[in-house]
């Protein structure tokens, strides 16, 4: 038995057929040649199906044209007006290509970054080169969801218990947590998991940026039922990071994104200061999550030194040590 064609696929095939027909297509030609209309059990069923599809195409803005044979007026056909359906040629100035290139740099998420780069590559292949100074000094970033987001979302959907390593906001202690995941919430530029902490036998909220390593689903699907209508505001409030202000020593001309968000303050006297702080600019930068800021600062390496607070400096050093250990391990294997 032939597989039934979905309505969306049938509509797409109809648009393709009516766009590429040399003259027009009669109803009988559409019924026999366009994929999906053979599913009609009778002439009346085909008529209803085709009339619905015509109405949908017109609602979507597809210019469907009805043609009549000048000799045989009863001979009616249909086609899509290609001139009214084809988009005009798209062109960009060098400055516009530069702005689009800047927009493509926003995405840190791996999947979005690759898609954005492919799009910009295609634009540059057919258009002018971007103006070199159109976005000089700018470094924009938009974070995608953390790596824990996808496995947690799947575990919520299948109602499976998860385990992960978590760094507590209040104590900084790292421990293994076993959780029945209920829902994911976005608050204050961060994602939170709300669920039942099995070991503590109590509902808890966990900020995804403090989950370390992989999230692993355990047990069978359907292991629990998530409660509905709970007030999760208090749970998320307890899991929210402590805000603060960082003092950073930045190399001249570097870290433009940090400078744009902070304010420069007096630093050591250049005439008497020596060592790593010599000739650096001191910037105060407010933050809402030390772990997220540490992740950003680690990417600047020696261009940004953390003067205070201590917990932020330690978070940056922890990331840099992890990268150094990874490089050392790669060198050993090589």
Q: Is the peptide bond before 176 cis (omega within 30 degrees of 0)?
A: no
Query: So what's the architecture of 7-85 in CATH?
Result: Orthogonal Bundle (1.10)
pLDDT given for residue 185 in this prediction: 83
At 152 the pLDDT is: 93
| CATH 1.10.10 describes domain 149-239 | no
pLDDT at 223 over 80: yes
Average pLDDT, the chain: 80
Domain ranges of the chain: 7-85, 87-144, 149-239, 244-333
Separation between Cα atoms, residue 103 and residue 96, nearest integer Å: 11
Q: Which stretch of 210-224, 227-241, 259-273 has the lowest confidence by average pLDDT?
A: 227-241
pLDDT per position as a tens digit, 93-129:
877 877 777 777 665 554 556 677 777 777 776 666 6
pLDDT level of residue 272 (50, 70, 90 thresholds)? low
pLDDT digits (tens, 9 = 90+) for 130-153: 655 555 555 555 555 678 888 999
Task: Name the residue with higher pLDDT: 314 or 72.
Answer: 314
**Rounded CA separation 307/314 (Å):** 11
pTM: 0.46
So what's the pLDDT on residue 306? 93
**Alpha carbon distance 98, 130 (integer Å):** 5
Domains 7-85 and 149-239 share a fold: no
Q: How far is CA 146 from the centre of its chain?
A: 10
In this predicted structure, what is the pLDDT of residue 240? 66
pLDDT at residue 176 in the model: 94
313-327 mean pLDDT = 83
Q: How confident is the model at residue 283 (pLDDT cuts 50, 70, 90)?
A: very high
Structural tokens at position 131: 């103006």
Confidence of residue 64 (pLDDT cuts 50, 70, 90): confident
Residue scoring higher pLDDT (155 or 112): 155
Assign 224 to helix, strand or coil.
coil
Per-residue pLDDT at 282 exceeds 50: yes
When pLDDT is cut at 50, 70 and 90, the band that residue 1 belongs to is: very low
């Amino acid at each position: 038995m032939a597989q039934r064609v979905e309505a969306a696929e049938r509509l797409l095939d109809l648009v393709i057929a009516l766009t590429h027909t040399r003259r027009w297509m009669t109803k009988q030609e559409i019924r026999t040649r366009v994929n999906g209309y053979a599913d009609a059990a009778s002439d009346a069923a085909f008529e209803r199906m085709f009339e619905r599809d015509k109405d949908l195409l017109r609602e979507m803005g597809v210019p469907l044209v009805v043609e009549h044979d000048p000799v045989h007026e009863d001979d009616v056909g249909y086609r899509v007006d290609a001139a009214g359906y084809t988009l005009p040629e798209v062109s960009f100035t060098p400055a516009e290509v530069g702005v689009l290139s800047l927009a493509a740099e926003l995405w840190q998420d791996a999947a979005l970054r690759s898609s954005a780069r492919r799009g910009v590559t295609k634009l540059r292949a057919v258009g002018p080169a971007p103006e070199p100074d159109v976005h000089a000094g700018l470094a924009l970033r938009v974070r995608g969801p953390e790596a824990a987001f996808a496995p947690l979302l799947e575990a919520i959907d299948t109602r499976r218990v998860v385990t992960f390593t978590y760094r507590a906001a209040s104590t900084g202690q790292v421990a293994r947590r076993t959780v029945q995941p209920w829902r994911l919430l976005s608050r204050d530029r961060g994602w939170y998991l709300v669920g039942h902490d099995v070991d503590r036998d109590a509902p808890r909220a966990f900020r995804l940026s403090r989950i370390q390593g992989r999230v692993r689903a355990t047990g069978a699907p359907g292991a629990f039922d998530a409660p509905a209508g709970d007030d999760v505001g208090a749970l998320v409030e307890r899991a929210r990071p402590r805000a603060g202000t960082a003092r950073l020593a930045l190399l001249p001309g570097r870290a433009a994104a940090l400078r744009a968000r902070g304010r420069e303050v007096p630093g050591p006297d250049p005439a008497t200061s020596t060592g790593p702080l010599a000739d650096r600019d001191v910037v105060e930068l407010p933050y809402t999550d030390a772990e997220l800021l540490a992740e950003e600062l680690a990417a600047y390496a020696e261009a940004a030194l953390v003067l205070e607070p201590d917990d932020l400096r330690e978070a940056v050093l922890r990331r840099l040590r992890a990268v150094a250990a990874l490089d050392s391990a790669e060198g050993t294997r090589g």
